[in-house]
Structure 1
């Protein structure tokens, strides 16, 4: 892509805050990185550009911190940037992805990167900033392939296969091979693992008119040992849930479905009402402070202007709000 260069700034990010990846507008190359300090209620925007003098690129999808570095996945620019988490200076980059989505570290020398429009998960070496191999998903076609979020239990990675897919795959990290596959429902997007080592998977059900199918969305509880579905919670056809999250104690689930919903992991049924009511807005991202249970919700407003982040108490009372970048979609706790 064409890089837009500017002047570099020198600054230091305070610890114990929240990174926000702002997607920007598709094909406009205006993705940005923000940082919020809850202790002072202050936000800094455009941090990557200010620190490095060039822009992130097109569609900042996610960010993960490992060993003092922040790894920013920029989907439509086919690149992952590594940055120092205090200065935000680039320390390296890995390019030539198809459309990277999420990164999960297996060790200091190996990580997996999921992809959209590809039937492979890329294997990288973070120490050399290089692609070292691929994991091909059996039965998945390359042109409509999709692997998405990952969690780890023991030596196994569990990964959702989202767009035009219906499964969770199980990968042996010692052999880098898919060893099992579980059908859960149309378009499983989010996955989390609770304090009982149960997997939770959210399916969005597709959309009306989709060539892949259309059904009611669900939340499934899966036993990580047996890799079988223990319980299924079914929503109404036409609902569009997203962004399944766990609180810090990993005993409560939260997700977006119009409003913000919250459910204890031992609940027999879905809640009757949301914790935070739907507003005349577009809830686009969600995270929970692992230390105190506060809830952060990203509002894309109209997908064109700078979004707003709402900060709520665990009980759902508004504490603070602030502007981030365009289409704030993902969070990363520092």
Structure 2
């Protein structure tokens, strides 16, 4: 209260003393006199058979003392904390409230004690299950693979439940009593098993869908040297993994053994199946001049048939329904920038779609998502663009596929859920634990989670 208003306020308090116990100009005391008690044992069962609608009676147990309570206020809440929609209120002594038919669904119902002074800060809540005549589709769980810092042996695996929005961290270590290893590079769910390539530990972890290790493969060459597994793919009941010494290996999913290997190009990254053939991106990353080819491997004879020339340093790939391949080529991190190439596999020709310092790519059906950026003088990404591209019409469909204004900085990985189009963007500063942003196919943020490790690099979708 400013000095010049003090005398006026004192006089006003005196004049109004017949109707107010006190006159206080301190906003911090507005909650004085509100109830401190909270109801317990809140229960609710939805009786509305329509999806995304609720109805029924909320019941609760009153506090042991209700002397400072005159009513209870009932709210809908999306997160169990915020008072999103007020449903109504009942007088003290009534310990139930009936929600009418066709009320919009919310994840929680709140019951709050109140009086003339205001509402209690203590909230009682119950989580709502939407009852329908038809089962509500359940979104399967998702695994986040955090690569960790190279040479630090700190790769981790987290599990996310999209239905409850609960994140369980370091589940591999929790289930198996040991760490995942040094530099997890790729993750894939196939059938009843999950496969994780851990490059610097030179292992391929094969687990069940609860992340319980079933077997750890350690591929080696003829001289006994580790071969550093990098990326995974599955086709016709087999799992394929690139080995950084220039090989592609086949894993039998029943015996969980490497059954054969074939020579491809130098330092291969991703492998993808298109039209019954396996395509391997040969980066040549350890060479003075990077490679620029895709090896074409016949999975039956398991031999390399030929190579297709694309851009310099091919690394990541995806294919559309027409069998065209989209390849991120890393360039040479100098005068040749990274590029996203569209490759006609039949004509064996490629066309550059985007060129920039950094490019990430994710695909779902015939929709391509691309994050590309420039590097500033300190090699930090600037001028980041989040574009979407329709592969059927070969046109850019959006300059920003994030439609709700969410800001994502230092994007490190981009993955799209093939079942529903949800977009997962991992972020990293290379030194601290990263975040995983989750967006709907319409570009609305569904969640943002702090994962347990550095460099969230892969996402494994349960089916």
TM-score range, shorter chain: 0.7 to 0.9
Q: 1:156 Cα shift?
A: 0.7
CA distance in 2, matches of 1:23, 1:64: 14
CA distance in 1, matches of 2:354, 2:362: 17
Q: Are 1:172 and 2:298 an aligned pair?
A: yes
Residue equivalent to 1:51: 175
Q: 1:101 Cα shift?
A: 0.8
Residue equivalent to 1:91: 214
Residue equivalent to 2:399: 273
CA distance in 1, matches of 2:276, 2:183: 31
The 8 Å contact of residues 421 and 440 in structure 2, kept in 1 or not, is answered as yes
SS in 2 for 1:326: coil
Residue equivalent to 1:103: 232
Q: Are 1:204 and 2:330 an aligned pair?
A: yes
Deviation by residue 1:85-118 (Cα, 9 ceiling, x = unmatched) = 0x3211112113421111223443x4321022x1
Residue equivalent to 2:107: none
The 8 Å contact of residues 151 and 191 in structure 1, kept in 2 or not, is answered as yes
Which structure 2 residue ranges, 5 or more long, are not aligned? 1-137, 220-225, 373-383
Query: Aligned match of 1:40 in 139, 164, 171?
Result: 164
Q: 1:153 Cα shift?
A: 2.1
Q: 1:283 Cα shift?
A: 0.7
Higher relative contact order (CA 8 A, sep 6+): 1
The 8 Å contact of residues 233 and 270 in structure 1, kept in 2 or not, is answered as no
Residue equivalent to 2:359: 241
Q: Are 1:155 and 2:276 an aligned pair?
A: yes
Residue equivalent to 2:120: none
CA distance in 2, matches of 1:283, 1:49: 26
Matched residues, number: 300
Q: Are 1:134 and 2:244 an aligned pair?
A: no
Q: 1:234 Cα shift?
A: 4.0
Residue equivalent to 2:251: 124
Q: 1:284 Cα shift?
A: 0.8
SS in 2 for 1:235: strand
Q: Are 1:184 and 2:310 an aligned pair?
A: yes
The 8 Å contact of residues 233 and 269 in structure 1, kept in 2 or not, is answered as no
Give the alignment's TM-score, normalised by structure 1: 0.82
Q: Which has the larger radius of gyration?
A: 2
SS in 2 for 1:293: coil
Aligned-CA RMSD value: 2.3
Correspondences of 1:302-321 after superposition (within 5 Å): 302-321=429-448
The 8 Å contact of residues 343 and 350 in structure 2, kept in 1 or not, is answered as yes
CA distance in 2, matches of 1:230, 1:58: 35
